[in-house]
Amino acid sequence: MTTAHSRIDFTLPQGGAGARLRHAFGPPRDVLVARGLHEVRGVLDAVHAAAQAGAWCIGYVRYEAAAAFDTALQTHAADGPLAWFSVHDQALPWPDALGADAPAEVAWTPGLPRGEFDAALDRIQQAIRDGEVYQVNYTAPLHGALQGSADALFAALHRTQPEGYCAHIDAGGTQVLSVSPELFFDWTSDAAGGDILARPMKGTAPRGATPEADAAQAEYLRTAPKERAENVMVVDLLRNDLSRIAQPHSVRVPRLFHTQALPTVWQMTSDVQARTRAGTTLADVFAALFPCGSVTGAPKVRAMQLIRELEPAPRGVYCGAVGVVRPHGPPGEGGVAATFNVPIRTVVLQAQGAVVQATCGIGSGITSGAEAEAEWHEWRHKRAFVERASAAFDLLETLALDGGQLRHLADHLARMAAAAAHFGYPWDAARVQACLQALVVQHAQGAWRVRLLLDSRGAPRAEAFALQPTPTPVRLRLAHRAFDEADSEFVRHKTTRRAHYAAFAPTAPGVFDTLLWNRAGEITEGTFGNIAMRLDGRWVTPPLACGLLPGVGRAVALREGRVAEAVVRIEDLPRVDGWAFINSLRGWLPAELLA
């Protein structure tokens, strides 16, 4: 028998506010596997029967299983089992500490060059103009190799999406690490029928750098015609799909265009509900709904034909379904409950000898008028979740310790606490302050640069280095290209992950820092501090909405009225007649911009 273990942490959307299904599972008493299309329905029937008898079944259905329900739904040939479920007699407590101390790292490589992406979007737009489709969900994989523990990678992924539909399924040579925020369906059924909820997710916008910008992004998502059209098309598709198993006149849409805040993006969802007919089985539900229209497009048959034409390889578990089927209602009455996600935000690990290959799909729905540049950047925002989880990092604050006093301590602690909340790191203010106080006692005299770090377990540590005076004016040089990461969460929050800044660090002798600018041509910051400019007779600093770290020294200068916020573009630089570099460690340093 295949040894396997699984963990699930699912929101229960029909279980009341805050209801969750959070369990671990030991080795199964049975494993149900479909290797051919003709076996898929049989496996789902066996899963249904096992749950009716009191078992818990955890597993997945690959995207390529679609033709098992309708031969018109074309896909590539599958590269693994079409359906896989483990059967368990009981659910165990969730192991909170599992993977917390182990390392995990994946260096991801995009599987799609920009030229191929643009060509695919052109082909989809032509199909839309020709009336073949209204929308196509186009995807491509990221590839990498796991260094370290799958448990640790899942723990890191889980921190990026803690309120979604998360599952770690170990099927031996294949492991599925899904932290999808998207519900495929939640279904409870008994002898009289059942209640089913689908919650398709369509429409994406990046999170804003400030509360005001974040609210504006959410409002844009709610009101943008392109995003609403994308969502409505999928809702209509799901209404039609659900009608195949619904009692007459029971399909309804109680909620449209709901915006959901995720750590790196806003997403739009809508609810589609129905009352299923008596005698409906799990296989019937899949036959009506699979694959979810949010990952195919509309009409589903033609959209899937285009997906097969444009995507060179099978999607696998990505865009299929991952979930749990369990008993429902009084024992012995044969009721079942099934909750499945749409496995976006999902990493699949495959053992190949001594190497564990990792794959993660990224995609978006392409509608009429979709622009390649905007879709390409949407993909970049969507993959931020896996890039965040794929290498360990600490939260970081750099403070000045002078004569036994930590400068602007309250500001630094508030900023680190905000970063801890954003990244899901435990925060214990008393423990952090005790760590700092121990360091202050050891460095009560002189000037020191203090690095305060907080790891993913909430453990602080502090380091001190002698602080040397900085000769002024310091010299700045304008970056030779746009800083593409200006909208990254690793710019909005200070961490030890700084490769995006290091790529712009000055290399010429005598240059103190690089002056960065975003894709819109707006000045943002330096690689290790903020910037002030005297423009038209007043000192200004770029607003956070341009994409920069909310520096403590900058915040102090704003509070004191020394600077005001203003957007400064590259073409405005000839009018700047004064420069300053600002950070909490070194204060306000006069600067000059080199030609």
Dist CA 305 CA 276 (whole Å): 29
Buried/exposed code over 364-391 (b: 16+ C-beta within 10 A; e: otherwise): bbbbeebebeebeebbbbbbbbbbbbbb
Report the number of secondary-structure helices (H) and strands (E) in the chain.
14, 31
State phi, psi for 32 to the nearest 5 degrees.
-110, 120
The tokens of 220 are what?
């844009």
Of 138-142, 156-160, 544-548, minimum mean pLDDT range: 156-160
* Residues in a beta bridge with 44: none
Structural contact between residues 196 and 185, judged by C-beta atoms closer than 8 angstroms: yes
Residue 3 pLDDT:
46
Alpha-carbon distance of 483 to 521, in angstroms, equals 10
Give the other-Cβ count within 10 Å of 194's Cβ: 25
Residue recorded with tokens 């997403």: 267
345 falls in which pLDDT band (50, 70, 90)?
A: very high
Instruction: Provide the phi-psi class of 424: left if phi over 0, else alpha when psi is between -120 and 50, else beta.
Output: left
Mean pLDDT in the chain?
Answer: 93
Cross-strand pairs, 528: none
pLDDT at position 69 is 97
Q: DSSP code of 503?
A: T
pLDDT score of 338: 97
Structure confidence at residue 330 (pLDDT): 77
Query: Which tokens go with 120?
Result: 């695919």
Q: Does residue 99 surpass a pLDDT of 60?
A: no
pLDDT exceeding 90 applies to what percent of the chain? Answer: 79
Q: How confident is the model at residue 101 (pLDDT cuts 50, 70, 90)?
A: low
Between CA 4 and CA 97 the distance in angstroms is 19
**Structure tokens belonging to residue 431:** 């423990």
Q: Which of 505, 497, 501, 496 is nearest to 484 (CA)?
A: 501
Between the two ends of the chain, the Cα-to-Cα distance in Å is 70
Summarize pLDDT for 440-457 with one digit per residue, the tens. Answer: 999 999 999 999 999 999
- DSSP one-letter string for 489-546: HHHHS-BS--HHHHTT---STT--EEE-B-TTSBB---SSSEEEEEETTEEEE--GGG
Contacts of 513 (CB under 8 A, 6+ apart): 474, 476, 506, 526, 527, 528, 529, 581
Entry field: residues in the chain: 595
For residue 570, how many other CB atoms are within 10 A of its CB?
Answer: 15
Report helix angle 409-423 to 429-442, nearest 10.
Answer: 140
Bridge pairing between strands 265-276 and 252-261: antiparallel
Check pLDDT > 80 for residue 45.
yes
Residue 117 in contact with residue 140, Cβ under 8 Å?
yes
Pick from 19-28, 196-205, 315-324 the range whose average pLDDT is largest: 315-324
CA-CA distance, 452 to 466, in Å (whole number)?
A: 15
Closest to 204 measured CA to CA, from 370, 9, 348:
370
Distance CA 329, CA 568 (A): 63
Annotated active-site residue in 39, 64, 163, 182: 182
More confident residue, 552 or 231: 552
For residue 566, give the 3-state DSSP assignment: coil
327 forms beta bridges with: 336
Distances (CA, A) of 334 to 49, 53, 270: 8, 7, 31
Task: Return the structure tokens found at 504.
Answer: 């712009």
Phi first, then psi, for residue 398 (nearest 5°) are: -115, 120
Higher local confidence (pLDDT), 212 or 317: 317
**pLDDT tens-digit readout, 233-268:** 889 999 999 999 999 999 999 999 988 888 778 888
Burial 484-520 (b: 16+ CB within 10 A, else e): ebbbbbbbbbbbebeebbeebebeeeeebbbbbbbee
Given pLDDT bands bounded at 50, 70 and 90, which one contains residue 2? very low
Q: pLDDT (tens digit, 9 = 90+) per residue, 400-423?
A: 999 999 999 999 999 999 999 999
The percent of residues above 70 in pLDDT, for the chain, comes to 97
Which of 5-9, 392-396, 533-537 is least confident? 5-9
As a whole number of angstroms, the distance between CA 22 and CA 493 comes to 30
Rounded to whole angstroms, the Cα distance separating 561 from 287 reads 64
For 222, other C-beta atoms within 10 Å of its C-beta total 18
User: What's residue 301's pLDDT?
Assistant: 96
Task: State residue 1's pLDDT score.
Answer: 36
Residue 119: pLDDT over 90: yes
Distances from the Cα of 165 to the Cαs of 74, 227, 245, 311, 328, in angstroms?
27, 23, 24, 26, 19
How high is the pLDDT of residue 16?
65
Among the options 39, 64, 202, 378, which is catalytic? 202
- Give the chain's largest Cα–Cα span: 81
Is 182 catalytic? The answer is yes
Neighbours of 83 (CB within 10 A): 26
Give Cβ neighbours of residue 116 (< 8 Å, ≥ 6 apart).
Answer: none
Domains and CATH numbers, the chain: 5-389 (3.60.120.10), 395-466 (3.30.470.10), 474-594 (3.20.10.10)
Q: Are 153 and 177 in contact (CB under 8 A)?
A: yes
Task: Identify the H or E element spanning 410.
Answer: helix 409-423
Paired residues of 34 in beta bridges = 83
| Residue 230 banded pLDDT, cuts 50, 70, 90 | confident
How far apart CA 282 and CA 338 sit, in angstroms, is 8
- Omega of the bond prior to 291 within 30 degrees of 0, cis? yes
